[in-house]
Amino acid sequence: FLSLAKNDAIQQKVADTKKVSFLIEMCDQYPIVYDILWALSFNHDIQQQLRSNQKLMLRLAHLKQELHHEPMGKITYGILWNLKSTHEDRELIEKDDQTMFDIMISYSHKDKIFCKQLYDELIKIGYRVWIDFDQIHGNVMDAMAQAIEQSNTILICMSEQYRKSNYCRAEANYAFRRRNRIVPILLQEHYQPDGWLLFLVGQLLYVDFTKYEFSQSMEVLIKELKAPVLQDYNLQRRESKDETNIISSNLSIQQSRSILPVLSDNILDWTPTDIQHWLIGHNLVQMSRILSDYDGSSLINLNKYLTNVESQQIFKLLQEDSLRRTNQSLSLVELARLQSLVDQQQQILETKSSEKKIKKKISSRNKSSSCNFCQIV
């Protein structure tokens, strides 16, 4: 269940069914449940359910002191980081222009060997780089936050293990909320960012280290690090004016949209992951968070409500859902865009269906004509 608990759709189902209390009762008997709670605690609804359990909060406070340097202490700090708003106060601190580091490398420790090579190369070039080689002990979350606050750019080393890591998720989320410049690099061949990681990097250029030699990929990375930065709302977007001159045109930098899978024409076949890819691909970032557990059928039903229910009533309901899930007011622009896109998908589905019926009729007629001809012969 630990792996499943890191899936956003599963988290929301656990929240909706209010099964968290059952897991809390198992904590003392099965310590691994604390790791499950850490994974679940990234969900806003589950955060509220955990905070309201005084027994759990007291137990976590005790564990934090008792297991300060143990692996369980790291998990405890992680849960409390997600549940408490103290770190949100840190985000209000003005960024110091004289930061200590140019770059922080955020990575899964399974990629430690590669990241050591990356670190050495960046240091050789002259960058000031922060990286945790020895895995921080004690209050890991505060140490992580301080490193992000003291760094200009965060390199996110994307892999399946990175997406599955609770610590990496907390690290990337904090960098995103603080509006640090984020540059994703791909370390795992054939890996496609999904879930929370797709939400964070969906609008960014990334450097693919899996397709070319390390030295070539480093050239592309340096070009990207030197590229001008454009900020738009809470998202950071990157543009490289020298993109056409990078090694042999379009060598390693690709737009994240290029890694999005081709979806079925039939929207009813879409899975929750397909919906997330589709929403991010159309720049409906807020909607991707609100509709985190939607599949194609759910999206069609939502569109029916948007079409048939009184507009003020449906907007109020969605506004409440947006505040509950994302702590943000609903974007009317995104809502209108969503409805338009779903309508387009339904039209495509209807057109394909009509074409199939016409082809079927033509095929039937051809068979009938062939039979008649045979009889005449």
How is the chain split into domains, by residue range? 4-84, 90-258, 267-354
93 pLDDT band, cuts 50/70/90, is: low
What amino acid occupies position 130? W
What is the helix, strand, coil percentage profile of the chain, to 5? 60, 10, 30
Q: What are the φ/ψ torsions at residue 35 (nearest 5 degrees)?
A: -65, -35
Given a cut of 90, is residue 218 above it in pLDDT?
yes
Of 334, 325, 328, nearest to 8 by C-alpha is 325
Reported as a pLDDT band with limits 50, 70 and 90, residue 252 is: very low
Which three-class secondary structure state does DSSP give residue 113?
A: helix
**Residue with more model confidence, 73 or 258:** 73
3-state SS assignment for residue 375: helix
More confident residue, 72 or 78: 78
pLDDT for 245 beyond 50: no
Residue 230 has pLDDT above 60, yes or no: no
- Local structure of 134: helix, strand or coil: coil
139 — alpha (psi -120 to 50), left (phi > 0) or beta?
Answer: beta
The Cα 215–Cα 159 span in angstroms is: 20
pLDDT tier for residue 183 given thresholds of 50, 70 and 90: very high
From its phi and psi, is residue 135 left (phi > 0), alpha (psi between -120 and 50) or beta?
left
Does the structure show a pLDDT above 70 at 36?
yes
Confidence of residue 182 (pLDDT cuts 50, 70, 90): very high
Mean pLDDT, range 165-184, rounded to an integer: 92
By CB atoms closer than 10 A (0-12, 13-18, 19+), residue 45 is middle
Q: Fill in the DSSP letter of residue 211.
A: S
pLDDT band at 188, cuts 50/70/90? Answer: very high
Whether 259 has a pLDDT exceeding 50, the answer reads no
What is the average pLDDT across 5-28?
A: 86
Domain at 90-258, CATH from 3.40.50.720, 3.20.20.70, 3.40.50.10140, 3.30.930.10: 3.40.50.10140
Reference 72, options 58, 60, 86; nearest CA is: 60
Please tell me the predicted confidence (pLDDT) of residue 74: 84
Query: Do strands 205-208 and 253-255 pair parallel, antiparallel, or not at all (unpaired)?
Result: antiparallel
Q: What is the pLDDT of residue 283?
A: 80
Average pLDDT score over residue span 188-201? 87
Per the listing, tokens 């003392």 go with 28
Identify which of 107, 109, 110, 136 has the alpha carbon closest to the alpha carbon of residue 122.
Answer: 107
33, pLDDT greater than 80: yes
Q: State yes or no: pLDDT of 377 exceeds 70.
A: no
User: How confident is the model over 117-140, as pLDDT tens digits?
Assistant: 999 999 999 999 999 876 555 577
Per the listing, tokens 């610590």 go with 167
Tell me the pLDDT tens digit for each residue of 355-369.
777 767 666 666 665
3-state secondary structure of 118: helix
Residue 231: beta bridge partners?
236
Average pLDDT over residues 160-183: 92
Q: How confident is the model over 306-346, as pLDDT tens digits?
A: 888 777 778 888 888 888 777 778 888 888 888 888 888 88
To the question of pTM greater than 0.85 for the whole model, the response is: no
Q: Where residue 287 falls among pLDDT bands split at 50, 70, 90?
A: confident
pLDDT top residue among 285 and 231:
285
3-state secondary structure of 112: helix
At 368 the pLDDT is: 61
